[in-house]
Structures are given as structure tokens and as C-alpha cells.
Structure 1
């Protein structure tokens, strides 16, 4: 973990362009990042977040905006989210970056520096986006360093006009792409097989690193050599560079910024490779999918993975790419999975709007979202979770996944449960938090042995459920022997704070 960061940070993603617009409407005047009301920053800090990820601050090119407004398929998606859509609401994808400088609408570089300083006053770090695979189709690198891009021919553009385009200077350049999907037509593909592309993007990354404390690297696996070969193999030639860009770039950034954090958006089972190449955390889509499908055995197995991998996963229940949790999981089914993603080891990613129960996922090309009332039950739930997360042990202590066993012979419902605990570091570390979640829509019973979580025979314990206020007195002999007996209603969870003393 980079110096200065907790081992298991809590990060809050904010859709910056929408956030600033809504705060401006509330204030009755145009706000920028340097004029965000101090109480907004204070509220973020009071909730206990270690870092804020301001998503979408960089300058989006005019070409990306025109494309976003003219695409009928995208417009149908916009209207599902925003029925009263206007052209002014469509401000282009923030992942078609034309310049790694904060948009003038958000206050420019001075505005970013001001909000970074304001967050730092409260001990909150700033994370921003870096998009390694591609740039916007009108980025200045296309004129300054055209060799940095994957180039095409007249035959290419004639055969596949969706995959290539002609720049204003007459160059034929490939659009950025994921090998499993059609090209992103608002982007231009960087050539990582050769030195000019790698040098150009390392310089861009260094520019970003000067302005924040960490980056979320968009689709980071796309620039791994094995993925580059799969996507662009026939164009690479015999002498392409087979070493990963990340093994060069991450140490270079950390030489200048030793405390800089790297988070990779990653899929396809390539997360461990990216961790080995220097990323502090990688997206944990595996956990998300297992929670979505109520796969308790799969979730338990995932939490029992090698800590070298498990503790560097970034857990989430929603983000700007995924559906809103309240819509995807439903209520109250969201709450158990939320306990897992918010309280297990690793990075915990929470998304602005998730804590209020918003249900509409907003396409990233939009700068306005529909009004939603949210849900008071959701607000109250996340307030309790964030209160538990204020305990430093959940940031730097010892995470303990727990075995779940049948409560009685012939009862299979124990297999619906997931359980884990946190204890203070050290062999004699005391237990602090215990989580038990029923992921299925059936009543479930189980025994959960707690010796590994720091509970000891001969002690008495009080388990206070932070979700409903109920308290239970239990003896260490039982907890360390057959285990804590739990009886959970469908989708019910326990979030216990642990108090204990020797008899």
C-alpha cells in the first residue's frame, strides 16, 4: 500500500459534472470546483471517506460531444434515463479525453487544485481518471505525436469505416476498442506495441499524477501485452514491445509521487496479473456477480482466497457503469450484499446516489440526471454502515473470513450464509466487528465458530446489532466451540459490534 493510505480505504465516486450542476442549481449561481460550498466537503469527510474519486473532470472534445448527440442508439439510452432530454444535456463521454486538463466549466486547473486542498484539509485524498487505451479523436497528440496511434490504410477505412477514421490532418487512425465489442467511435487507439505511444501516454499519466493522489485506470487490462496481441496482432509487426506498459509506468510515477495509488478497472481474470505489475487494487467484478446471483458458496470461497490477492480487490455494489444497486438487487435485498462489499477487506467503492437509494443509472454522456426522491430506509442503512466503518480496525486491522456450519443435522440452509469478522492486529487481537448475511430468500440457520476471529473461551461477550439495536450476551466457550447460533429471515443480516471481557 502506498505510504499515507490506509490498508483498506473507503472511496466515494462522484459524477463530477452532474454534482457541480446540481449544487449550482441549489445555490442559484454557477459553481465550479473552487467554489463548492465548504459544508459539502465537510459532509464527505464526516462520513468517513478516505478518498473521493471525482469522475469525469477532464476536457471532452467537441468531436465526442457531436457524436454523443448524433447517435440514435445512445439517444434512446439517454431518454430512458432522462425523458425530458435536451441537446444541452448531452455533454459527451468523459472517457473520450481531449486533454488532461480540468474542463473550464468545472473551474480549470485552479478549481481542481482548490478542491484537492479543501479535501486534504479534512484528511481526504483525491482520485481522478486515467484512460490509457485511447484518447479522444481530436486530442492534440494526433498532431504532436501521430506515431503514438494505431494507424490504418485507405483499404482499412473502406472495408471497416466503423473501426477507422480520418483525422483533420488526413491521417487514418483506428478507433479505440475492446476486442469483445465494437469500437468506441469517439476515441483514437494508442499503439502500445511501440515506443512513441508508450512514451506519450506515460507523459500524460505523469501530468495526471501531478494533480491528484491516485488514479482509477479505465479498462487497464486492454494495454496488457497479451490483450494487445489479441486485439491488434496483425498490425504490430515483428519487433513490438512485449513488456507491459504498467511495469514501466507505475514505478516511474512513484519515483516522483511515492504515495500515489493505482486502481485498475479490470476483468477477464486478469486482475492478479495487474496486481503483480504494480496496481494496488483491481476491480472485483467476480464478487459483484456472485452477490447479484445470491451465490453464497461462491462468495464464501472468494473471501477465503489468498490474502495477497483478496485484500487488493476493489469491492463495489454499483458504479457509473453498473446499474444502480437499488434497482439491480431490489430492497431490502440490497442490504446484505452491501454489507459484504462495504465491510470486507480490500478497497470499498461507494457511488454518489447509492447512499440515498437512487435507482436510475445515468449514461456518462449526460450532464443532468432526473430528480429522484431516494429512500429513507436506504439512507438510514448506509448511515449505520458508515458509522461502523469509522472504526480504524476496519481500515488497518485483520480481516477474518469465517466458516459457516449446519445448525442441525439435515438442514441445508446454512449454505445460504456468508460470515466474516474484523479483529485487532496481532495474535491476541480482540474481535471488533462480526457480519453475517443471508443472501437467499429463505429462512436460514447456522453455527459459526468464532475462535479465528479473536473470541476466546472463558470470556463473556455482548453482540450489539448495529442494524436494529438488538443486543445478545454470549459465552466464549459456546462461540469458540460449536459456534454462534444464528437464525436469519430471508435476506436478513447481522452487523455486530463486539464488546467482551474475561470472566
Structure 2
């Protein structure tokens, strides 16, 4: 199914190349809603926990073609390869980078010095054949010919759905490819400048046919993306055309991941481009308008926002089903365990809609960024708290080299068996009931003995459903730590309580009266965890011994 026609030539690119740089959360002096302002008492609440797998479509097809020693496409890859991914319990497959690449973006990808340095780091002996151009500089919303042919995405969606997995594709609202035909057929849909603007800001504007000057797409905190053209969110033409495009995309996918979604907020766009705009700020937010329209036609269609700058909550209120939780990533990488715990006291309605991750195509590989042992502890956090947990292709194998988005050829890396085994246990534990759909509760941790402050390094939470419970305990520090976990009274009856650790197979048996009086004592080495399972007895009353 061709969806490009909805734009009458408006073909789309994305927040591409500078996105491989680490995007730090920026604090605004203006009104914002921080996670600290969204605190709650964290009483036990029902929550659904889902799992998403990000896969670089171009690199995956190239990898499998090499493995099978023949040219493959999405639909000719053996089904067992897809099943090996989906069998790990993922609810969504984000097939990143399926849209037709731009010739001009490919040229840019070969010329920009900063990007070339990234290629040298990832693959020192690379050549031009290893560079496909950015998947976020989309020329047209049709499947790239390297991946398949017209109609394949709808077929692939049907195939995934039979496996119980939903398909997520990219949508890049902020900009289109440098050579996108829409700048000729619908120039009003883009930010334009003058010859004077071009002369004054040569890195921000470029000249096209008939001496028109268009702006490159940009994040206000970074240089403009030279392979893109910036859309005009205030243009009725742009809104109408992208709305129709999204309605068509909702027929060939189960959801979209919206690149740099916060750039589409009216005040953000006004602050970034206002001096070059003729249009006034519309009364209705872009995202509210398009999400409402799409969900009227397909209420189950999922919108996922890549978002930063503490604007996640606002985007959720506009209709996004999920928003990136970069704040948690930063805290796991740079802050204390208590800061992580504070973050997890946010209102549950916010947490349910948060995308948790320690790696994706924009971030440094987790093992490289965190270190191996710490990355395991961080992975336990993001895979066992409410929301949507994201796993990036190669993360489970312990890959260390980050692939620039413009590259199609992956560096040869051996899988790390220890990391694979860890993720096999973690995902088996995290994707099964009761974690998938049950009651989540953050537990208080107290000192194991007087003057022992190491309990502050320990994080603990649980998922319960009827008579089943899972208790996750993590020492998120580089020091040996001890503490006592406060447990709900309804977990304890008259018989001993068995805590089975699914990570190491050990079973710990405790007297219920001791647990009620003192809590569950734990002792953990640096970055280690417990994956406990236990039964909650039907008889919830503890009888005191004579």
C-alpha cells in the first residue's frame, strides 16, 4: 500500500544525524512539570507492563543476507529468525528505518565530517557501500526497495500479528528529506527564508529551485540537520496532509514512534522559528489535532513520543500513549539510587505511559555506557517497573559498538554469552505474569542495623496478582549493601514464606512473624539483584505464638 500520495509529494525525513549525540535533559526556567511534582504515595495500583524491541531494518536484512549467503528482504527472511526475536516476550516490534531513503541525504551522509568520524569509530575500514543515508531523512513513505516492495509492510504486519506481536514504524514529523518533492509542490508546508536569511545563516538555510530558500530541520540546542528541510507546524496545508498520511499509516502498522515529538509543540516551534514565520500560532496543538483524528478511525493505534526537556507529561495529555523516559536513563547513568527511587514515586498514570530504556539507536551501547555489571542492574530496573520497556537489537548480546544511523553495515562483534544468559533469565522473568498485568508497589527499604547506611543503595518493588507475587531487589551501587525490605501484611500468614530467586535458583525461607516485625533482610554484592517469586497465602491472618 502506497501512502506517499497522501502528501502529494510530501515525503518525510527525520531528526537524524545529530541525534546520535547524547541528548541531555535540559531544565527550563519556564513552567514545567517535573517528576518530583508528580509524586504519589505509591500505594499498590494496577498497572500494565509491555515490552518493545527496536530493530534496525536495513542492518538486519543486510546481516541476514550475509548469514544466508543470498539476497534477502523483509518477507524472504526465514520466519524462524523473526520468531527468535518475538519469542522473548515482546509485545511490539519497532522496525526502525523502513521508508525510502533520500539520494541527497545519502550524499550528505558521505560528506559531513562529523558523521564520517562516527563511521571511522564504528567500522574503520568502511566504504561508500556501507553508507545508506539516514533512515530519518525519508524521501517517500513507501518501503525502501532494499527491504521489499509495495504491499510488504501490510503482509509483514499480518505475519507479526499472528505471532501476537504488534508492528511499530517511524513517523518523523519535524522535517523531511532535503530533496523531498513537497518543497516544490507545497512550499507553504515548510519554513522559508529570504536571500538575506540565507546569507546571514548559511548553515540554517539552503537555496533550491526558483531561488527559494528553505530552512533545515533542527533541534534548537544543536546545529541544523543538513540533510533535511524543516516543516511548518503552523501551516494548515502541512497539518491536513500529515493527518491524512497518518490515517493511512494506521492501516499498515499498529503504531508509530514519533521522532523528536516535542519539537511539534506550538510554543517550542514558535520559540525556535517564530522570527521566520508569517502564520500565527494555531489555537489547537498539532499533536492533539492529529492524534484525535487518527484515533477516531483506529482507536487502538499507538503513538510513542521521543521526547525530552520535561515535556513528556504535556505530550501524554495531548494523547500520546507512551513518551520516552530519558530522565530515568540519566538518573541510572549519573545519579544515586535514591534519585532513581524518587523518580519511581511519580504518579502511576505518568509511569504507565513511560518508555524505559538503557539503550536505543541514539544512545551509546549499554555495556559501553554503564559497564557490564552496572548495565545488568540498570536493565533489571527498566524491565521490571511500570510502562513500556524498550530493548535495542544487540543489547541482549552485549554489543559494545554504536552504529551511526546512516550506516547499513554492522561491525563484526562476537556475542557475550554471559550477557545473553542474563537477559534470557531477566526477560523470561519480566515478561511473564504477574508482571505483565497486575499490581505494582514500590517497597520501603530500611537499615539492616544501626549506622549501616548501605540500605540507601537498595531498590525494591513488587508485582502481585491474586496468590502470586514477584519481588525485585537491586543493589544499585558499587558497594556491598544490606537492608530490610518492608513487606505487605497480606503476604504473610502462619506458615514459613519461601522466596525463590529465579536468577540463581536459591530458595530462602523466612518465618512470617519475623518478616512482619523486621522485614526481609537482604545482602547483595555490587550491582546484584534478586528475582524473587513467592505465593501469597489464602489465609492472610498471622497468629501469634504462645
- Whole-angstrom CA distance in 2 between matches of 1:12 and 1:103: 21
Kindly indicate whether the alpha-carbon contact (under 8 Å) linking 1:296 and 1:415 is maintained by their aligned counterparts in 2: yes
Aligned residue in 1 for 2:350? 309
Q: Deviations over 1:131-160 (max 9, x none)?
A: 010111122222221110001100011111
- Deviation, 1:54, is 0.2
Displacement after TM superposition at 1:459 (Å): 4.6
The equivalent residue for 1:474 is: 510
Aligned match for 1:249, one of 270, 283, 290? 290
Aligned with 2:162 (options 116, 121, 124): 121
Q: TM-score, normalised by structure 2?
A: 0.88
Shift of 1:170: 3.5
Aligned to 2:460: 419
Equivalent of 1:283 in 321, 324, 328? 324
Q: 2:524 aligned with 1:483, yes or no?
A: no
**What does residue 67 of structure 2 align with?**
26
Match of 1:240, SS state, is coil
Structure 2 equivalent of residue 409 of structure 1: 450
Q: In the alignment, which of 70, 84, 91 is matched to residue 132 of structure 2?
A: 91
Aligned residues: 493
SS in 1 for 2:267: helix
Question: 1:436-489 CA deviation, whole Å, 9 max, x = no partner?
Answer: 11111111111111107x513435322111111111112333334321111111
Shift of the alpha carbon at 1:238?
Answer: 6.4
Structure 1 position 79 matched with structure 2 position 120 = yes
Instruction: Check whether the contact 1:459–1:500 (CA below 8 A) recurs between aligned residues.
Output: no
CA–CA distance in structure 2, aligned partners of residues 479 and 202 of structure 1: 57
Q: Confirm or deny: 8 A CA contact 1:449 1:481 kept in the other structure.
A: no
Aligned to 2:379, the other structure's residue is in SS state helix
Which among 438, 441, 450 is matched to residue 475 of structure 2?
A: 438
Give the structure 2 partner of residue 202 of structure 1.
243
Deviation readout 1:343-401 (Å, 9 max, x if unpaired):
11100000110001000010000001111012111000000011113323222111111
Contact 1:193 1:242 in 2 (8 A): no
**In structure 2, distance between residues paired with 1:248 and 1:75:** 39
Q: Aligned partners of 2:186 and 2:149: how far apart in 1?
A: 25
Q: 1:103 aligned to 2:156?
A: no
Classify the secondary structure of the residue corresponding to 1:290.
helix
Whether 1:451 and 2:488 are equivalent positions in the alignment is: yes
Distance, in Å, in 1 between the alignment partners of 2:48 and 2:250 is 21
Query: When the two structures are superposed, what TM-score results if normalisation uses the length of structure 1?
Result: 0.95
Q: Which residue of 1 aligns with 2:231?
A: 190
Structure 1, unpaired ranges of 5+: 1-5
Distance 2:319 2:496 in 1: 44
* 2:386 pairs with 1:345: yes
SS of alignment partner, residue 509 of structure 2: strand
**How far apart are the structure 2 equivalents of 1:129 and 1:403?**
40
* 359-368 or 385-394: bigger deviation: 385-394
- Partner of 1:33, secondary structure, is coil
- Secondary structure, counterpart of 1:210 in structure 2: helix
Taking the TM superposition and a 5 Å limit, the aligned residue runs for 1:41-440 are 41-237=82-278, 239-424=280-465, 429-440=466-477
Higher relative contact order (CA 8 A, sep 6+): 2
Residues 465, 86 of structure 1: CA spacing in aligned structure 2 closer, same or farther, 3 A cutoff?
Answer: same
Q: Which moved more, 1:476-485 or 1:258-267?
A: 476-485
Give CA-to-partner distance per residue, 1:389-424, whole Å, 9 cap, x none.
Answer: 332322211111111111111111111111111011
Residues 1:60 and 1:186: Cα distance change in structure 2 (over 3 Å)? same
Q: Which runs of 5+ in 2 are unaligned?
A: 1-46, 540-546
Residue 114 of structure 1 deviates from its aligned partner by: 2.4
How far the C-alpha of 1:502 sits from its partner, in A, is: 5.6
Asked whether the equivalents of residues 414 and 445 of structure 1 are also in contact (C-alpha less than 8 Å), the reply is yes
